[in-house]
Structure 1
Amino acid sequence: MRIDNKIKSLTPPFIHLLFNHSKHLRIEENIQLISIDGSKCMDMNGLFSEFSKKMNFPDYFGGNWNAFDECINDLSWLTSEQYVILISKTDKLLVNDNENFEVLINILSDTCMEWAEGREYGELITFPTPVHVFFCCIDNKEKHIIERFKSTGIIEFDIIK
């Protein structure tokens, strides 16, 4: 499946490791691209700050995992038919914090699944919406990055070279 077809899919995998930077994502008008700089996410404060800034989290965002999970599963302040989160410099992402890296990957994976299924919370109804996360990686870190993702327990992710 081509990369641009993957981002339209409502079926897993929703988490992608992108090792070949010569393959460019073609983002259409109805897809919101959210670019996260992994080098600004080396610790928890940086991660929450970068995601909050780039995803326009509301002022009430509390800078903790519960608030992160709540905000990334809401996005009512954004209006798009699809979302692509593109995380560059994945090798820098929570580089010395495997425990919180695992929490992040699991939240992102669960978020993608929830959006794909659609949701109904009282009056708030969201239709199935594709959300995909691409982790851009440099080739010489490939083995380490793949092992790090496998260690999180995430079952479905794909590797794009």
Structure 2
Amino acid sequence: MSESGFDPGLADPTRAGVFFVTEDDLDPLAAVGRDAGLLSRRIDLSGCDSKGALLLRIATVLDFPQSSGRNWDALSDSLRDLSWLEAPGYVLLFEQAQELRERTEADFDTLLDILDEVSQFWTSNEVPFWSFIALPEEDFPDLQ
């Protein structure tokens, strides 16, 4: 339960997954994640227009080990490990994702697939792993 008395259930791994939100939602979600005792990290995707830039941003914010590769498989493997960021659960807050989606939709879609698979992996281990992707609200109907 959060300090406000409102409990959105972020500590429940069965509810975790990948969700689209607006930029205005990120601060409250970070606070709720903190109140739930989860490790929250904000990943700013502004100006991120390629797979390489995307992977570097995530690796930097999550402090991936030097030995981590810079490809999709390495991203998936690293997100399934996170032993260097031990926590009871995780909240990833992706800011400014619209540019990545517009410039390289295939990479954006691959990221979503990986985040979804990683969330399912953590759920099977009873650990909540949330990804919140900030996009303009008018883009939501196009997303499935």
**Higher relative helix content:** 2
Partner residue of 1:130 out of 128, 131, 142: 128
State the AA in 2 paired with 1:90: A
Name the SS of the counterpart of 2:46 in structure 1. helix
Question: Structure 1 residues 34-43 or 48-57, which shifts more?
Answer: 34-43
Partner residue of 1:10 out of 10, 13, 19: 13
Q: Are residues 1:77 and 2:84 paired?
A: yes
CA distance in 2, matches of 1:10, 1:67: 23
**Higher relative strand content:** 1
Partner residue of 2:137 out of 119, 123, 142: 142
- When residues 47 and 72 of structure 1 are mapped into structure 2, their CA distance, relative to the original with a 3 A threshold, is same
- When residues 40 and 34 of structure 1 are mapped into structure 2, their CA distance, relative to the original with a 3 A threshold, is farther
Long gaps (5+) in structure 2:
none
Render the CA deviation track for 1:16-36: whole Å, top value 9, x for unaligned: 212261671222273111110
State the AA in 2 paired with 1:31: L
Partner residue of 1:98 out of 79, 93, 105: 105
Give the root-mean-square deviation of aligned CA atoms. 2.3
CA distance in 1, matches of 2:77, 2:38: 21
Query: Matched residue pairs, number?
Result: 136
State the AA in 1 paired with 2:133: F
Question: Structure 1 residues 18-27 or 81-90, which shifts more?
Answer: 18-27
CA distance in 2, matches of 1:96, 1:20: 19
Name the SS of the counterpart of 1:5 in structure 2. coil
TM-score by length of 2: 0.82
CA distance in 2, matches of 1:20, 1:94: 15
TM-score by length of 1: 0.75
State the AA in 1 paired with 2:12: S
